[in-house]
A and B are shown apart, each in its own frame.
Chain A
Amino acid sequence: MKKIQGNDSFQRINYLYQISKEIADKNPVLSAYYGNLFINVAKKNVAKIHPDIKRQICKKCRCILIHKVTANMSIKKKNKSKMVEYLCNTCGSKKNFPAKKDKDYRTWLEKPESVVEVVS
């Protein structure tokens, strides 16, 4: 396996994300604690978290958002465009994602041409 800079912190973030998701339905407080921790680890190591993971955690309390478990998802109309809205059950904050039919909302990191090399 090739050595990557900051690999152990990425592994740690991955692990914390996993356990945060695992415990979310039983104890949302602990889930928020782990979510908070992996963001702090990423901050300390100046590493970037993949947007896919980032979208799954609450902005305010940093708990994992899972539909019907820790959050409620609904589709709303705002200025003629539809929005997917997550309502966090622990702290009550909202998170909005635009969802227009004929628009590509992927960020650069999610596009296939951004991947240069896959290291296993």
Chain B
Amino acid sequence: MSSEENFKKGAAEAIVGFLNANVAKSGLSNIDKELKKDFVLAKKRSKDQKRRASKKKVRCLTRAEKKELGFYAIPRKGVQYKEVLPLNKIWLQYISEVLELDNSIPDPTSKAWENFTQTLYRADFHGSFLKVTRSKCPSLVDKSGICIMDTRNTFKIVSENNITSTIPKRDCVFQMDLNKCKITLFGKLLCVRPAERSTKKIKGHIHPDL
């Protein structure tokens, strides 16, 4: 401790000596005064900074935390068909409102057709009744059920015998059952994240091939 104090004193004396040697003659008398000056606000910190640091921010769950809570693992027999049936009911209302099914469905050659496909592409498929009509993988053909999850490359569907299965979109052709009509969807064109699909533009005619 004492050695440190000695060092500090020495340093202070050195500074004073340096100033005495180097400051212009007109300023020499002011040195003592200037060194004893007190800066009033030097040791005070603003209150705002302290407060901001102590505030906790509510963040969204990270992926790891979500996984811990079981957000990604939907068990094979975890969802009952009865539970998702109301979704299908609401979905039918929704899709008929969006596509305006009360009016007649436009002709594929007419101008309104492009608008129709665009809105269908932007609509939501959660809760729709999907049936696989064609697929590269033969075991997936004829699987049907209500879609509960829609990711970039897969659909998760709950079939009538309460089994949840994952179906890759790319190699399948789906059929959707509306009350009036049936719609065939090429899964290859739906390989977009569900949230991004509503802003993305598609071409009117793409030649589908499996």
Q: B70 to chain A: which residues have CB within 8 Å? A: 29
Give the size range of B's interface with the partner: 20 to 34
Chain A residues within 8 Å of chain B by Cβ, number: 30
CB of A24 to closest CB in B, whole Å: 11
Q: A8 to chain B: which residues have CB within 8 Å? A: 98, 119, 122-123, 198
CB of B147 to closest CB in A, whole Å: 11
In the complex formed, the residue of A with least CB distance to B87 is A19
Task: Decide yes or no: A15 and B199 within 8 Å by CB, A27-B83, A90-B69 being known contacts.
Answer: no
Interface flag for A49 (CB, 8 Å) = no
* Contact for B61 among A26, A41, A43, A61, CB less than 8 A: A61
In the complex formed, the residue of A with least CB distance to B100 is A1
Task: Decide yes or no: A22 and B87 within 8 Å by CB, A44-B199, A45-B198 being known contacts.
Answer: yes
List A residues 39-85 near B (Cβ within 8 Å). Answer: 40-41, 43-45, 59-62
Task: Decide yes or no: A41 and B198 within 8 Å by CB, A8-B119, A11-B98, A19-B126 being known contacts.
Answer: yes
Could you tell me if A29 and B198 are in contact, using CB atoms closer than 8 angstroms? no
Could you tell me if B122 and A12 are in contact, using CB atoms closer than 8 angstroms? yes
| Docked complex Cα distance between A45 and B195 (Å) | 9
CB of B153 to closest CB in A, whole Å: 16
Could you tell me if A37 and B94 are in contact, using CB atoms closer than 8 angstroms? no
Interface flag for B60 (CB, 8 Å) = yes
Interface flag for B91 (CB, 8 Å) = yes
Task: Decide yes or no: A27 and B79 within 8 Å by CB, A8-B123, A12-B122 being known contacts.
Answer: yes
Could you tell me if A23 and B87 are in contact, using CB atoms closer than 8 angstroms? yes
| Docked complex Cα distance between A45 and B60 (Å) | 20
Could you tell me if A44 and B195 are in contact, using CB atoms closer than 8 angstroms? yes
Chain A 18-32 near chain B by CB (<8 Å), digits 1 or 0: 110011001101101
**Chain A to chain B contacts (Cβ below 8 Å), 21 pairs:** A8-B123, A8-B198, A9-B198, A11-B97, A12-B123, A12-B198, A15-B90, A15-B91, A16-B126, A23-B86, A26-B83, A27-B78, A27-B79, A27-B83, A29-B69, A29-B70, A41-B194, A41-B198, A60-B58, A60-B61, A91-B69
